[in-house]
Amino acid sequence: MGIPTTVITRKGFAGAVRNAFAGMGFPAEAPVMLEFPHEVFLPGSDLTPIEQNIGRIIDGLTRWAPEAKQTGAVTTSKVAVSGEDYQQAVDNMNHLFVRNRWADGLPVAPPTAARVDWILTGTDLPADRVIGRILPRGGIATVRMIAVSLAMAGGRPEYLPVLIAAVQAFVDPILHQQSLQSTTSSVYPVLVVNGPVARQIRLNSGYGALGPDPLHPAGASIGRGLRLVQMNLGGALPGSGTMSVYGGASRYTNVVFAEDEDGLPPGWAPLNVSYWGYPRGTNTVTVFGANSGSNIVGGAALTREKALSALHRIAGFMRAPNSNYYSSGSFMNGAPGMVLIARGTAQGFASALGFSKDHVKAFLWDNSRLPWSEMEKIDFLDYMKPSVERGMIDIEPVDPFPITARPRNIMIVVAGGEQAMHSYYMAVGHGPAGPAHAEIELPARWDELLDRAEKDLGFTTEE
């Protein structure tokens, strides 16, 4: 806490650096910050601005001391908002939240004490149970704070167990949440839910699986709840906690959907079984960091020729240059991306080609390799050097080079309805060294919650 520190950073990144220091437990005024134009950091640039500030750099390294005398958790009082009627009070609350940057810019539902207490009936965990620290700001995600975020997102009690598990996975060190949150990339969490809970809470696995869908509202509320956790606790606000150049529409609700387990071909296991080794029927969430989503036209697999064509189309999208394949330790044991195929396509691969899920992975791995000549054109070889030197990549330099060390790293999820005309690919974003997972813990009163949901929303399972 008292180590003299000077940070030299690009102009515009001061907020991101302060957030990062706060997440590491340093006082608010740490460190001594010197911002310089981007040009100073380019090879061969004029370093005169550095020379002119050398005194401040030395002072920061030798004389700085924190002004803060106390440390510990900060508690705040509740905020009271009023209006001439309920609607005006809600409007005033949203205006207050925007002014204080307490949300994502869209209107939120009032997280009143009564509503948060209702959300908390979705778990048997104590409200003050700490799930983890959300970086870069370092806010503490307790069960209550997660419930507050879900309430703001318009969620329900039966969604809470999934969101708690998602936060547990999000803080897994393998996800590198500090980088995922702060990066200039457009990375966002993708959540795949397996097990009976998905259908029970109306998560979509069929047509329009990635949303929006009023018949399956759980995904949007859960995903937005996680985004509010990322922003309000983690400080992932544009220009300070996150330096993402573009952000993206997917960041509003992230991406949350269920696997179409009923549509799996014979012999194909769900993601949580094939990738993580859970017993079939276990309620789990997989969290993956993606930086893009690509619709792939042509997924019909009725004949051998059509099935092979569909696989080559998917491999072609996977082969697109993505430097994240070779960073953050993702190459060896992480996932290069998530491949979504509809049940008709999956069943075609199984019947027309006789392919298991592992056969599909092996085909995509072998046909998505990048030639050295193409990697040289976009400086991938130089980009890979740090990962090679740090032991993050340990594989013979074959040409063409694979996008991941082994076929099993590729994630395949069956979702999207019964048709077979499209597939979808989400490439890994900057930061994660691999996907994370957590088991979903249901409360003792689960059946009671589902009965209430059925009365409010209609049937909780598809007919």
Domain ranges of the chain: 6-62, 111-285+440-463, 292-428
- Amino acid at residue number 378: I
Beta strand ranges found along 137-200 (DSSP E): 139-142, 188-194
Q: What is d(CA 449, CA 159) in angstroms, rounded to the nearest whole number?
A: 10
Q: Which of the 8 DSSP states describes residue 9?
A: E
Q: What is the per-residue pLDDT across 100-153, written as a single tens digit (0 to 9) for each?
A: 999 999 999 999 999 999 999 999 999 999 999 999 999 999 999 999 999 999
Quickly count: other Cβ atoms within 10 Å of residue 73's Cβ.
6
Question: What pTM was computed for the model?
Answer: 0.89
pLDDT at site 463: 43
Q: What is the pLDDT of residue 293?
A: 93
| CA-CA-CA-CA torsion sign (21, 27, 31, 33) | positive
**pLDDT band at residue 25 using 50, 70 and 90 as cut-offs:** low
Q: Supply the pLDDT for residue 19.
A: 67
Distance CA 46, CA 364 (A): 47
Phi-psi region of 88 (alpha: psi -120 to 50; beta: other; left: phi over 0): alpha
Q: What does DSSP say about strands 422-427 and 436-439: parallel, antiparallel, or unpaired?
A: unpaired
Question: Which residue's structure tokens are 């750099």?
Answer: 57
Q: What is the spatial distance between Cα 430 and Cα 131, in angstroms, rounded to a whole number?
A: 24
pLDDT in tens, 307-347: 999 999 999 999 988 889 988 788 899 999 999 999 999 99
Position 60 scores a pLDDT of 72
User: 138-196, pLDDT tens digit by residue?
Assistant: 999 999 999 999 999 999 999 999 999 999 999 999 999 999 999 999 999 999 999 99
- Beta-bridge partners for 257: 192
| pLDDT 10s digits, 450-460 | 999 999 998 65
pLDDT at 386: 74
Whether the predicted pLDDT of 71 surpasses 60 = no
Contact by Cβ (8 Å): 235, 19: yes
CA distance 255 to 270: 18
Q: Give the model's pLDDT for residue 26.
A: 62
387: its two tokens: 């990962």
CA-to-CA distance for 380 and 374, rounded, in angstroms?
Answer: 9
Condensed to tens digits (0 to 9), the pLDDT of residues 208-255 reads: 999 999 999 999 999 999 999 999 999 999 988 899 999 999 999 999
Residue ranges of alpha helices (H) inside 368-415 are 372-377, 380-389
**3-class secondary structure, 193:** strand
Please report the pLDDT score of residue 21 as a whole number.
Answer: 66
- Strands (DSSP E) contained in 143-187 are none
The token pair at 295 is 């619709």
Q: In whole angstroms, give the CA distance from residue 350 to residue 9.
A: 53
Mean pLDDT across the chain: 89
Q: In whole angstroms, how large is the CA radius of gyration of the chain? A: 24
The residue written with tokens 């276990």 in the block is 282
